[in-house]
A and B are shown apart, each in its own frame.
Chain A
Amino acid sequence: MATAEFDVPELQEYVDVPEVEEGTMAHLKPFVVTNPEHNTDLGFPGELVEDWHGKTLEKLDDLRSRYRSLQVYLDACVKCGSCTDKCHYYLTTKDPKNMPVGRQDLLRKVYRRYFTFAGKYFPKLVGAEDLTRETLDDWYSYYHQCSQCRRCSVFCPYGIDTAEISMAAREILDSIGYGQKYCNEIIAKVHKVGNNLGLPGPAIEDTLEGLEEDVFDETGVEVKFPLDVKGAEILLVTPSADFFAEPHVDGLIGYAKVFHEAGVSWTLSTTASEAGNFGMFIGSYENMRRVSMRVREAALELGVKRIVFGECGHAWRVAYAFLNTLAGPFDFLDPDYPVPQHICEFTKQQIDAGKLTFDKSQNDDMTITFHDSCNVARATRMGDKPGGQMDIPREVIKAACNNYVDMDHNTIGERTFCCGGGGGLLTDDLMEIRVKGALPRMTALNNAVQEHGVTHLAAICAICKSQFTKVMPYYGMDMDQVVSVHQLVSNAIVLTGQRTEDDEEEQDEEA
């Protein structure tokens, strides 16, 4: 393995709340941007500026005047401790700076020291601290050990959301030229090429042609995977992982089959070939907006009437909660549909309208459970009712599968545990925190495996899927146990005119 060695926690029946042990994760830092262009392309200084002290305080002051969340959250915490045992990273690393309030305090101490009466004159009394070079390193370390999953905000009596604080801290670090390589490199790629993986148009076209052939060979039906088709009704924006990686790509096949059966015209776009938006992870409104504008421009250029997003958690947050604000108004689209829609909402509507036929037995070799992705569960909605984001994906799964069970109720829904790799941590240099942070989810999954014979974990997030395929082997599970929700749909859907197994047998006999 590329990273330093670390102990992989063992799966137990429960994850106990550990005793505080200071400094256990202080050594872990993601790689810093090395190519200055990856900073400057995003509008940040290429490397750490000389006057980092003044610039840091200036940025903090600027952000608290532009974000009510930051200002209120820095003031309101009463140190009640309610959030302390809610973060998967604290639970598995014991490091108190990974307790949500401990993480917030790294920034709060500096805020208090320079911007509050009590901190200016009585720093010791209220725990205010000077800003030093070490403070920056601490920020860099621990604000990159937060997956911005918002689990803490569910349990805080004032809804204090550590994700907002870590976004602000990362924006401050970026603004003084102390950026994280993984996120900034990816955003630079989106700005240049149009997707996180830097896949050029022709490569996408090739992949899609290949998929058309595969589906035809398997079903005998010509399911299209259109790219840049002007005048299509729906623009599908999906995470670029869907174009090549397992199990993501099986999800893409699922969407195509659903569109095919629904009888709507649709298209992907080369310029908006990425649903993900890492601008959110680094807290940068400007970058998040720039990435979002690609979707608007593609929709205008292709003249579509609707926008649908594929399976991705943080992408759905940006799409559902921010897109209209960042890149709206979308008054040029069909007003009968919400902008944008989630692919699960779309599929659910087709199911309700009776447009899809399923042979659920195709999934009988599996017992499925569903992982609620943090961003979907705690930052978005599907359908018209609060909580639809939990119900609709489950209803889609149940329409396609006979065997479904939920994991422990304390680990799903709004209380869901993060996969451990969200928020810009999905990089090998952070493998230690990723593996450790996955423990609560792995524990709940393992219990469901033991008690209910669960064989597969379905997810609707590209990051969750990538993270699980990487970390499940550390816990003695198999990477193939992760499936896309629309992969299940794809398995079970019976296309109009599809060759049945009987046909295949006949063919075999003839041959």
Chain B
Amino acid sequence: MSTVYALLFIVATLVMVVGLALKIKQYANTPAPLKIPTTPAPTTEAGVVMRLFREVVFFESLFKSTKWTWIFSWMFHMALFVVLLRHIRYFIDDVWLPIVLIQPFGKYAGFVMVIGLAGLFARRILVDRVRYISAPSDYLWLVVLLFIGFSGLMMSFVSHTDVTMVKQYFTGVWTFSGGELPMDFPLMVHLLLVALLMILFPFSKLLHVPGLFFSPGRNQVDNPREKRHLAPWAKTLEEQE
């Protein structure tokens, strides 16, 4: 079983990393032939960095729009961030100080994450407009994340798993030298779903993560009068005349 999981995680990591790299390459190589930032937009590179920072950290545009979605979504994502930071200790030996410091209360971030997800799920069912635009996969994503959260919380608060063993296993997973994985049911579920998430990442709406950074509506500097912005294909078009 430990070997199956090792294989699974190697495949999952490869799929996620290569898949995302290809997607990012596609986005980077596709030209944006015209300046189309949603204005008022920053007129400098530094301004654009700030704009993206506000979108990533505060979900600025979502905040402008709907406070309910914003609060649940922000709870979910920020808690996810803390949870993932806390998980770093399973993969490296000398954990950096900030990660040690968040351990005690970071434990509770899992609850926040689950509450956020539950709120988003309720919204998807209750608001008729959101229900209309939802495909089965939109519900399933929330379900998958909820179960990852539940199983994680089970381990943290109900039936503890041998965290040292988990750590040993994952630090050695690449060389199949990590030894055994504790055969606890919550951990099996947790890891199975996490692997699923990693495999699906580059083929799904989780592409919103790289997408945000490549969105011309948000990442362009508002300077079209000062600078020409000619895409390679548009240049070819010009030269044909």
Q: Is B5 at the interface (CB under 8 A from chain A)? A: no
Nearest neighbor of B130 in chain A, beta-carbon distance: A81
Partner of A153, one of B38, B129, B132: B38
In the complex, which residue of chain B has the Cβ closest to the Cβ of A85?
A: B129
Say whether B27 contacts A127, CB under 8 Å: no
B73 CB-CB contact with A under 8 Å: yes
- Min CB distance, A223 to chain B, in Å? 29
Given A286-B237, A378-B38, answer yes or no on A157-B137 (Cβ-Cβ < 8 Å): no
- Using known A-B contacts A126-B137, A321-B34, determine if residue A379 contacts B39 with beta carbons closer than 8 Å: yes
What are the interface flags for B197-223 relative to A under an 8 Å C-beta threshold, 1 for contact and 0 otherwise?
000000111011001101111100010
Give the residues in chain B near A2, CB-CB below 8 Å: none
Closest residue of chain A to B216 (Cβ to Cβ) is A69
The distance in angstroms between the C-alpha atoms of A48 and B73, with both chains bound, is 45
Interchain nearest-CB distance for B30 vs A (Å): 4
Q: With the chains together, A389 CA to B222 CA distance in Å?
A: 13
Interface string of A60-84 (1 = CB under 8 A from B): 0000111111011101111111111
Let me know if A66 and B61 touch, CB within 8 A.
no
B216 adjacent to A68 (CB under 8 Å): yes
Is there a chain A Cβ closer than 8 Å to B31's Cβ? yes
Most buried by B among A101, A324, A338: A324
B189 at the A/B interface (Cβ < 8 Å)?
no
Chain B stretch 159-210: residues in CB contact (< 8 A) with chain A: 203-205, 207-208
Q: How far is the CB of A378 from chain B (nearest CB, A)?
A: 6
In the complex, A379 Cα to B222 Cα: how many Å? 9
The answer to whether B55 touches A67, judged by C-beta atoms less than 8 angstroms apart, is no
Contact A78 B26 (CB under 8 A): no
Cβ B222 vs Cβ A381 within 8 A: yes
User: Would you call B107 an interface residue if the criterion is a C-beta within 8 Å of the partner chain's C-beta atoms?
Assistant: no
Residue of A nearest to B134 (CB): A79
Known contacts A86-B65, A117-B203, A125-B136, A161 near B39 by CB under 8 Å: no
Q: Cβ of B225 and Cβ of A338 under 8 Å apart?
A: yes
Is A386 interfacial (CB 8 A cutoff)? yes
How does the 8 Å CB contact mask read for A100-140 relative to B, with 1 for contact and 0 for none? 01100100000000001110000011110000000000000
Report A-chain residues with C-beta under 8 Å of the C-beta of B231: 66
Q: Which of B64, B133, B138 has the most CB of A within 10 A?
A: B133
Expressed in whole angstroms, the Cα–Cα distance for A83 and B230 within the complex equals: 31
A72-B211, A99-B129, A377-B39 in contact; A153/B228 too (CB < 8 A)? no
In residues 220-241 of chain B, which contact A (Cβ within 8 Å)? 222, 224-231, 233-234, 237
* A412-458 interface with B by 8 A CB criterion: 414
Do residues A68 and B214 form an inter-chain contact, with CB atoms below 8 A? yes
A156 to B229, CA, bound (A): 25
Which B residues lie within 8 Å of A78 (CB)?
138, 205, 208
Q: Is A216 interfacial (CB 8 A cutoff)?
A: no
**B3 at the A interface (CB under 8 A):** no
Q: Is the CB of A68 within 8 A of B32?
A: yes
Asked if B225 and A339 make an inter-chain contact with CB atoms under 8 angstroms apart, the answer reads: yes
In the complex, A67 Cα to B231 Cα: how many Å? 10
Residues of chain A with a CB closer than 8 A to B234's CB: 285, 325
Contacting pair B237 A381 (CB below 8 A):
no
Give min CB distance, B189 to chain A, whole Å: 21
Contacts A125-B137, A150-B38, A320-B225 given; does A80 touch B69 at CB 8 Å: yes
Whether A81 contacts B224 in the complex (CB less than 8 A), given A72-B215, A158-B218, comes out as no
**Complex contact B30–A67 (CB within 8 A):** yes
> Across the interface, which residues of A come within 8 angstroms of B204, CB to CB?
118, 126
Q: Are A161 and B64 in contact (CB under 8 A)?
A: no
CB distance from A434 to the nearest CB of B (A): 23
Name the segment of B40-48, B84-92, B149-157 touching the other chain. B40-48
Q: Is the CB of B135 within 8 A of A126?
A: yes
Q: Taking A102-B132, A159-B38 as contacts, is the C-beta distance between A76 and B208 under 8 angstroms?
A: yes
For residue B59, CB closer than 8 A to chain A, the reply is yes
Asked whether, in the complex, the Cβ of A76 is within 8 Å of the Cβ of B207, the reply is yes
The reply to whether B30 and A71 contact each other, CB–CB distance below 8 Å, is yes
Number of A-B residue pairs, CB cutoff 8 Å, is: 206
CA A75 – CA B215 in complex, angstroms?
11
> In whole angstroms, what is the CA distance A153 to B36 when docked?
11
B128 near A77: Cβ-Cβ < 8 Å: no
Contact call A157/B228, Cβ cutoff below 8 A = no
B33 touches A67 (CB 8 A): yes
CB-based contact B133/A386 at 8 Å: no
Question: Chain B residues with Cβ under 8 A from A102's Cβ?
Answer: 132-133
| Minimum Cβ distance to chain A for residue B102 (Å) | 26
Interface residues of A in 259-312 (CB under 8 A from B): 285-286, 289
Instruction: Return B232 CB to nearest CB of chain A, in Å.
Output: 10
A249 beta carbon closer than 8 Å to chain B: no
Query: B207 touching A75 by the CB < 8 A rule?
Result: yes
Which of B31, B132, B138 interacts with A20 by CB under 8 Å?
B132
Q: A9 near B: Cβ within 8 Å? A: no
Contact B215 A158 (CB under 8 A): yes
Q: Are B33's CB and A157's CB within 8 A? A: no
Contact of A154 among B64, B127, B224, B228 (CB under 8 A): B64
* A320 to B204 Cα, complex, angstroms: 36
Say yes or no for A329: interface residue by CB 8 A criterion: yes
Q: How far is the CB of A278 from chain B (nearest CB, A)?
A: 16
Which partner residue on chain A sits nearest B28 by CB separation?
A68
User: Is B229 a contact partner of A325 (Cβ separation < 8 A)?
Assistant: yes
Whether A381 lies near B130 (C-beta < 8 A) is no
Task: Find the B residue at minimum CB distance from A104.
Answer: B133
A387 to B40 CA separation, bound complex (whole angstroms): 5
**B217 and A153 contacting across the interface, CB-CB below 8 Å:** yes
CB–CB A325/B32 < 8 A: no
Q: Which of A71, A96, A414 contacts B27 (CB 8 A)?
A: A71
> Among residues 4 to 63 in chain B, which have CB atoms less than 8 Å away from a CB atom of chain A?
23, 26-27, 30-36, 38-43, 55, 59, 61-62
Bound together, the chains give a CA A286 to CA B236 distance in angstroms of 12
Say yes or no: A69 contacts B36, CB within 8 Å: yes
Q: Which residues of A contact B66 (CB under 8 A)?
A: 81-82
Chain B contacts of A19 at CB under 8 A? 128
| Set of chain A residues within 8 Å of B61, measured between Cβ atoms | 82, 154-157, 159
The closest CB in chain A to the CB of B232 belongs to A66
Chain B residues with a Cβ under 8 A of chain A: 23, 26-27, 30-36, 38-43, 55, 59, 61-62, 64-66, 69, 73, 123-124, 127-130, 132-138, 140, 203-205, 207-208, 211-212, 214-218, 222, 224-231, 233-234, 237
Nearest first, the 6 A-B pairs at minimum CB distance are A159-B217, A76-B211, A127-B135, A386-B40, A155-B65, A81-B130
Cβ contacts A to B, 9 pairs, < 8 Å: A20-B132, A67-B30, A68-B216, A76-B205, A153-B38, A154-B64, A156-B61, A325-B224, A325-B228
Known: A158-B55, A160-B217, A324-B224. 16 other contacts (CB 8 A): A65-B30, A69-B32, A78-B138, A79-B130, A80-B62, A80-B69, A83-B65, A96-B133, A105-B133, A116-B203, A126-B204, A127-B137, A159-B38, A159-B61, A285-B234, A325-B224
